[in-house]
Structure 1
Amino acid sequence: MSALAIEITGERTAVARGAGAEEVDLTADKGQSIHAVIAAYSRKHSADAGAPVEVVVNEAGRTNYLTVEPDGNVSRSLPTGPIAAAAGREVPQVDVAPEPVTMSVAPIGHLPVSAPDTMWREGNVQKQRPPVPWQRPNPDTSVRRSQAHASTRSTRPAMSVLAAPEITPGSSEPARTGIRGRLNAVLNLGLAPKPESAEMRHRAAIAAITGPIPGFSIVTVANPKGGVGKTPIAVGLNAVIAQHRGAGSTVCADVAEVGGSLADRVSVPPRAGQDVLALVAAQAAAPGSIRPSELSRFLSRQPGGEDVVAGIFDGFDGAALGYDDVESLANVLSEHREILIADTGNNRLAGSWQWATSNANVLVVPVPLRRDAAAAAHRMLLDLAAAAGSDILARTIVVITDGPGDAPMVEIEAVDAFLEVGVHSVRRMPFEPLFASGERIATSQLRSTTTESLTVVAGAVVELIAHAAG
């Protein structure tokens, strides 16, 4: 991974230096921020190199570390190695890791070698092995035997030398896309994809999606500006996660105060009674009695195995979804699903909106390249950070979406503003005609670039869920 060291020397000036390169003076034009110039320069450097670039920006003694991908995605990071300093200037170094601690780790799925003999496993539950009544060992001999066993276990390898070497998922598979993929298909070769290629990023995202998570988690898709693509993003993430984690692992719920467009956008529309309030009412009538077979009555199963809970139907005159309603919904779903994707409305004062944002393990914010949509999202994040602390920003992913009528210059300023307030990462999604059409979304009809982008975003979401547990 190449590196850039950039020092901001004035309100509109900066100096950039990379390994083996001369100093480059950066200057912002009138009406343009120096941060926007730095973002554009870093993106061009990454695109020219065809690989991610690690950028360290030093401004008045404060240092920010960013990783810029060739496709324009930007995320905060810690340095992976030494970063070249500009001539005559020092770049502050950060101690990114404590002293290493040596640990003995057993292979996944096997009992640790140091575990007592009385422990055994059944599924994912660790239990005490029941004692055998006719065995009553002499205390003295049992002590000597346990010491001997402990000595033997301390020198015994955790895995047999005859075991086949571990295979990292996706690493040994031949390339299927790009030039190498075409060569493999035409010439029957086995060329592996480049480590920094889009295909390897896609495979890494799939590996992240299928990884372990701590339990029931809530992913909230929010932006108080209407028409920014919250529902298509929620539907897409729901489908991609279910595709790789398995059917019935995730559910998307419309938690808008008076119902949103989720029921009108999914491939299989919900029937009467398959909505949030009906499920909440059933839970209230018989608390704790909803079993998986009964839960399916309230969910609309989609072709990919993902589930959907619609918003409020017209039959509930005068009803509105409140804070307690969404909390009851989550309590029921937490017993049967791993992930709840909350598709929010536009009313920030609604109790359902406040529950979804305050309880989110991960916040996904769709932002079209329009100044009004970017400003609304930015104000929302500032307010959430003021109310709940900056921790929510570290669990936020902003998804920049392309579309007709976009203003490309807004992207540089928006990305810079979101990263400046502490957003975890900013991802980019290409224009998807099916999302913009207002028609029902069949994920099999999405463009391949859209599916790949959704997979990368979903991988980042699950990684945040997993790391939060650690």
Structure 2
Amino acid sequence: MSATTTAPSSTATRPRHEVRAVVNGNSAQLSVLGTPETLTADTYVDVRKKIMTRVMKLASGLGSDVHLVVDDQTGHWRLIAGADGELHDPAPTPDLAATAPADAPAAPSGPTLPQATQDASPLASVTPLPAQAPAPAELPTRTRRAEPPADLEPEAKTAVEDAAEVAGEEPATGRAPRASFIVDERREPAAANGWRGFITRATGLQVPASTAELERRGHVQAVSQHWPGPRKISIVNGKGGVGKTLTTAMLTAVFARHGGAGVLAWDNNDTRGTLGWRTEKGPHDATVQDLLPATSTLLSPGAQISDLARFVHHQTGDKYDVLRSNPELLATKQRITQDDFDALHEVAAKYFRLVFFDSGNDESAPRWLRMIDHTDQLVVATTALGESAESGALLLEALTERDEHSANLARNAVVVVLQSEQNGTLADAQRIADGFTGIARAAVTIPFDRALHGGALRYDAVSTPTRNAWLAAGAAVAAGL
């Protein structure tokens, strides 16, 4: 009887080398291949350096990849230290649910480590809201014109060629397209934020940016654009106290800081608008009432942009200008007709590339209605409260019945939902945002930030999560310009 031998499996899995670190202040508790270690340093930055040095040396000594998992105050993050001295992103985990057969039994679930969120504070929730409209038809494609058979009679051949011209087919040239000598060698810069950015700066390794950082870069690029011709954005809601003024100030700051000069915040409110109270005051007390008599002078060929400085208030930190209303006067003493608004608008369009209107609450005022006529992008500001959101939704519905331009503005609107109450949650704000599905184009939620409640409105004063949220809101607005 012959003996049966079993060949060793050629698919034996290599052991996974792993280091886990829990960072707390200036110390870290490590589990190095299952063995506990403690690292301490004078600063949090030095702790980071020691962790990376330990892992890189371990990978080099083992001649194999070492998986690093860190838990600190920024969240969870993962990297792979290679034996070649390079750092890599972990390979994405395949979606087993998408590839498993429908009748396959579900695998038992075990504890999993949360996805890495180390490099940036959470970005705002930007919800693209599907419009209730049919999908656009695909664009027709141009095809190469087929050559008629050579044995056709001249008259028939001409008829075939004429039919091809009517069909929009391109004539055949018989020449293959030439490859361009210009090679696009642009590469995405390495990580600049969080742990990845720290590793890039400390070691010189080109660590790729995280998904959160790439998303933020996309938002910055969106708000940094310059459009041909002036663009006007109106922040609206017929209810008072819903955040129109702070939304105006924050969005204006986002576009001015990233896109450069030529950005105006205009307080188009004849019922005690407070934009002037909550922004930096220039070396004068001028308001829109002072600018109105000077419009013809400012529109003359000899006028210069510096002449406008006596009427607007420059924000030295946030890089935009403010055209104030006068909250100390009764509305009856600062009425602006539609002709007055047109003259003021002509000045604003001449000297500024972007104009943000803080609209006020009187939707029947001539200046409010004329503002809508000149608007390119509508922004509805609301808190995460039902009555505020209902007021915004009713306004959008009313605009759809006003005229075609207003209806287009309403369908393309961006809704900014503020978590204005400290005891509220972003989930509450998200529920309000989701409620605008089918009414507006997109909705963005903004987390609660104490710096936005009372006092001067400055972009630098808010926290990083809040700045990222306003940046996401700005990118949503830019998509409509």
Q: Report the TM-score, using the length of structure 1 for normalisation.
A: 0.63
Q: Could you say what secondary structure the match of 2:480 adopts?
A: helix
Question: Structure 2 CA distance, aligned partners of 1:346 and 1:237?
Answer: 19
Post-superposition offset of 1:158: 9.3
Q: Could you say what secondary structure the match of 2:322 adopts?
A: strand
- Contact 1:368 / 1:406 at 8 angstroms: preserved in 2? no
Structure 2, unpaired ranges of 5+: 1-96, 103-113, 144-174
Q: Could you tell me which residue of structure 2 aligns to residue 98 of structure 1?
A: 139
Question: Structure 1 CA distance, aligned partners of 2:239 and 2:476?
Answer: 24
Q: Could you tell me which residue of structure 2 aligns to residue 283 of structure 1?
A: 295
Post-superposition offset of 1:269: 1.3
User: Structure 1 258/349 Cα, relative in aligned 2: closer, same or farther at 3 Å?
Assistant: same
Q: Could you tell me which residue of structure 1 aligns to residue 209 of structure 2?
A: 193
- Contact 2:124 / 2:444 at 8 angstroms: preserved in 1? no
- Contact 1:362 / 1:395 at 8 angstroms: preserved in 2? yes
Which of 284, 302, 305 is equivalent to 1:292? 305
Which of 413, 424, 434 is equivalent to 2:451? 434
Q: In the alignment, residue 289 of structure 2 is paired with which amino acid?
A: L
Question: Structure 1 CA distance, aligned partners of 2:349 and 2:242?
Answer: 28
Q: In the alignment, residue 444 of structure 2 is paired with which amino acid?
A: R
- Contact 2:429 / 2:445 at 8 angstroms: preserved in 1? no
Summarize deviations over 1:256-279 as a string: whole Å, max 9, x none: 02341111111x214545321211
Q: Could you say what secondary structure the match of 2:190 adopts?
A: coil
Matches within 5 A, 1:137-286: 161=181, 163=182, 165-167=184-186, 172-194=188-210, 197-247=211-261, 249-266=262-279, 268-284=280-296
Summarize deviations over 1:382-432 as a string: whole Å, max 9, x none: 1111213431123210011112254767545533431122x1101111112
Q: Could you tell me which residue of structure 1 aligns to residue 416 of structure 2?
A: 399
Matches within 5 A, 1:1-400: 19-20=98-99, 72-76=125-129, 97-100=138-141, 161=181, 163=182, 165-167=184-186, 172-194=188-210, 197-247=211-261, 249-266=262-279, 268-284=280-296, 288=300, 290-303=303-316, 304-312=318-326, 314=328, 318-389=333-404, 390-400=407-417
- Contact 1:220 / 1:363 at 8 angstroms: preserved in 2? yes
Q: Could you say what secondary structure the match of 2:396 adopts?
A: helix
Q: How many correspondences in the alignment?
A: 332
Post-superposition offset of 1:251: 0.5
Post-superposition offset of 1:198: 2.2
Q: In the alignment, residue 370 of structure 2 is paired with which amino acid?
A: W
Post-superposition offset of 1:230: 1.1
Q: In the alignment, residue 292 of structure 1 is paired with which amino acid?
A: I
C-alpha RMSD over aligned residues: 3.3
Question: Structure 2 CA distance, aligned partners of 1:391 and 1:49?
Answer: 40
Summarize deviations over 1:127-164 as a string: whole Å, max 9, x none: xxxxxxxxxxxxxxxxxxxxxxxxxxx999796x2x56
Question: Structure 1 CA distance, aligned partners of 2:450 and 2:233?
Answer: 25
| Greater mean alpha carbon deviation, residues 311-320 or residues 446-455 | 311-320
Which of 436, 458, 461 is equivalent to 1:418? 436
- Contact 2:233 / 2:376 at 8 angstroms: preserved in 1? yes
Q: Could you say what secondary structure the match of 2:192 adopts?
A: coil
User: Structure 1 429/310 Cα, relative in aligned 2: closer, same or farther at 3 Å?
Assistant: same
Q: Report the TM-score, using the length of structure 2 for normalisation.
A: 0.61
Q: Could you say what secondary structure the match of 1:354 adopts?
A: helix
Post-superposition offset of 1:238: 1.2
User: Structure 1 71/101 Cα, relative in aligned 2: closer, same or farther at 3 Å?
Assistant: farther
| Percentage of pairs with the same residue | 21
Summarize deviations over 1:164-205 as a string: whole Å, max 9, x none: 6342xxx521112344334334444211224xx221121111
Summarize deviations over 1:295-325 as a string: whole Å, max 9, x none: 1221111113211111126478822234333
Q: Which structure is larger by alpha-carbon Rg, 1 or 2?
A: 2
Structure 1, unpaired ranges of 5+: 1-17, 24-47, 52-68, 79-92, 103-153, 466-470
| Greater mean alpha carbon deviation, residues 206-215 or residues 175-184 | 175-184
Q: Could you say what secondary structure the match of 1:99 adopts?
A: coil
Question: Structure 1 CA distance, aligned partners of 2:448 and 2:231?
Answer: 29
Question: Structure 2 CA distance, aligned partners of 1:187 and 1:352?
Answer: 58
Post-superposition offset of 1:285: 6.3
